[in-house]
Amino acid sequence: MKTAKSSVRKTNTLIKNFAILNMAKKSLLLYLLTALVIVQFNISCIHKSRVQNNKEKFIKYVETQMEPYRELYGENKPGIQFATYGKEGSAYYQYGFGPTVNENWHIRGASTTKTSTAAAILLLHQRGLLNIDDKLTDKMPGKAEGYLPNNALFDIPYKSAITIRLLLNHRAGVFDVTNSNMPDSLNAPYAGQRYTDYLSDLKGETYAFDVRELIEPVAKHQLNYFEPNASMHYSNTGYHLLSVIVERVSGLPLHEFKTKEFIVPFKLSETTFDMSGKGYVPEPAIPCYLRINDSEVISGDFDNLSLAQADGNITTTVHDLAKWAYYLWGTNEILNADLLAQMTDGLETGEFNHIYGLGCGMHPPDIGHGHDGVRKAFMTIMRYHPPTNKSYVVMTNSLNIEDMFGQAEILSNIMRKGIELDL
């Protein structure tokens, strides 16, 4: 009997001890959870404080960079927009704009367009539908026709020696009718003029141009800068030829191909490639200003982008541009690693862009790779920065004709500061 009572006491003691131990464990767990919440809260507070502090540092820096520049424009003072995009999300900052302006207001992205034209060509290469090392006179894979039509309109100099790659990196020597005046020696009404200005005067400022109209004088007058791959000369007309290749290979006009393959899948809902000639950025649109000289600042709101097919006809937002740059260079959702490596394998140019790959620039090298855009009257720098795995876009709604390189340096400095502060 005593043995039974002793066993009961021991059992009760064990139960009590177990209950005490269990309560202690629960108390310890509660303590640890409380401590974890406090630590997480403190980390969150520190992070928010750091983000706010960096934002204030950034805006102050932007102010020091932009205020002397803004004074050049009198009452039409421009601003800047700055956007980032990465795996963890996006960020947006602005300076010099009113409170109603945000990252979804529209701009002209100008030559950032070339990145999507190059991506279209490289995507077709990736799918085996073309080869970027083929000559323009070679037959398209699986087809009986060449990459360019076999007629006088496309009989450009050195056609049989130019590869698609050389068009992409501006080493084909193709004469650029948009950035070079036509030779004075031509027996033509546009001799000595910018051909695009001549066409606009002839057909009207809102005429919707066909890309073939921009290629025709190059073939007709056998214009070129040099033999293929002998040097580098930036050529929008070379990119016009790429648009013809995309259409012949894919069966879709370039702007429709981009919409199908890039705009829709990546939800770039505020981006279009303007073919209309209407001249105005979609609403809501940021007004822009062109500084001609010390005493003249004019509106840059009108610009017929049908003259810039394939090279500069994008209308977009800084948010969409940052998103595009991230998905193009920060992932393999568009191009594989080999093609991205080729795209960003730049060569010295001896020109303003210093180092250039396949529709992609690498200068200044410390801010990453991407493309700049300059068009009436916006200047945009778009980059993907591998060390931070983020994309960055900085834009000003102005163009200073007298000092565009100084203006570009201001924007590069602002981007550099944004990268440094990990915005």
pLDDT digits (tens, 9 = 90+) for 345-377: 999 999 988 999 999 999 999 999 999 999 999
Give φ, ψ of 89 to 5 degrees: 130, -160
Residue 181 lies in domain: 60-420
Is residue 246 within 8 Å of residue 116, measured between CB atoms? no
Report the CATH number that the domain containing residue 379 is assigned in CATH.
3.40.710.10
Residue 50: the pLDDT is: 77
Residue 44: the pLDDT is: 53
Residue at 282 is within a domain: yes
Residue 178: the pLDDT is: 96
Residue at 24 is within a domain: no
Residue at 397 is within a domain: yes
Residue 20: the pLDDT is: 63
Encoding tokens for residue 220?
């007709």
Q: What is the mean pLDDT of residues 141-162?
A: 97
Residue 12: the pLDDT is: 59
Encoding tokens for residue 389?
């795995």
pLDDT at residue 270 is higher than 60: yes
pLDDT at residue 134 is higher than 80: yes
Residue 51: the pLDDT is: 79
Residue at 136 is within a domain: yes
For the segment 152-190, what is each residue's pLDDT rounded down to a tens digit? 999 999 999 999 999 999 999 999 999 999 999 999 999
Residue 45: the pLDDT is: 65
Collect all residues with Cβ–Cβ distance below 8 Å to 374 and sequence separation of at least 6. 110, 111, 380, 399, 404
pLDDT at residue 5 is higher than 60: no
Residue 7: the pLDDT is: 57
pLDDT confidence of 42, banded at 50, 70, 90? Answer: low
Is residue 69 within 8 Å of residue 306, measured between CB atoms? no
For the segment 195-248, what is each residue's pLDDT rounded down to a tens digit? 999 999 999 999 999 999 999 999 999 999 999 999 999 999 999 999 999 999
Residue at 34 is within a domain: no
Number of domains into which the chain is organized: 1
The vertex-143 CA angle with 138 and 146, nearest 5°, equals: 30
> Which comes out higher in pLDDT, residue 23 or 409?
409
Is residue 399 within 8 Å of residue 291, measured between CB atoms? yes
Residue at 51 is within a domain: no
pLDDT confidence of 297, banded at 50, 70, 90? Answer: very high
Residue 237: the pLDDT is: 98
For the segment 301-317, what is each residue's pLDDT rounded down to a tens digit? 999 999 999 999 999 99
Q: What is the mean pLDDT of residues 52-62?
A: 95
pLDDT confidence of 11, banded at 50, 70, 90? Answer: low
Residue at 20 is within a domain: no
Residue at 151 is within a domain: yes
Residue 37: the pLDDT is: 57
pLDDT confidence of 295, banded at 50, 70, 90? Answer: confident
Percentage of the chain surpassing pLDDT 90?
Answer: 87
pLDDT at residue 4 is higher than 60: no
